[in-house]
Amino acid sequence: MKRIALLYLTVALLAVGAGQALAGSTTYTRAATRVTVVMHDPGCHWFSVGGKPKTKLVVAGPVRLFNVDEATLKVVGAGTVRRDGVGRTIALGAGTYTITMVGQAPDDNHLKLIVR
């Protein structure tokens, strides 16, 4: 009788332990926010936010910067320079970024992106 009770107790403890292991953590990893840069005159390139053009944008990170402009973008921030080709995305973490189009005219837009 004691052996059966011990067997049931062992099975019950294993079932509870397996349930806890499968439950995992309650913290969630934030999905990357998609930020799109588009061609729009005047001023050449803009952030597209809800269908409206903007030159400055603050978003909660991380970010996937999607380039649908007419040329490669130069992304400067945190001591690094990265390039984002047309139709490509790059991942950006927290920081302040200045975005310009490669070979752009001096009077075109200089975008500012702040990722928190």
Predicted local confidence at residue 44, as pLDDT: 81
* pLDDT mean over 101-114: 90
Query: What digits encode the pLDDT tens for the residues 49-71?
Result: 999 999 999 999 899 999 999 89
Amino acid at 7: L
Predicted local confidence at residue 41, as pLDDT: 79
Query: What digits encode the pLDDT tens for the residues 11-63?
Result: 665 665 555 555 544 555 679 999 999 998 766 889 999 999 999 999 998 99
Burial class of residue 114 (count of CB atoms within 10 Å of its CB; 0-12, 13-18, 19+): middle
Does the model's pTM come out above 0.85? no
Domain 33-115 -> CATH class: mainly beta
87 phi-psi bin (left φ>0, alpha ψ -120 to 50, beta other): left
Ordered DSSP codes for 76-95: EETTEEEEE-TT-EEEE-SE
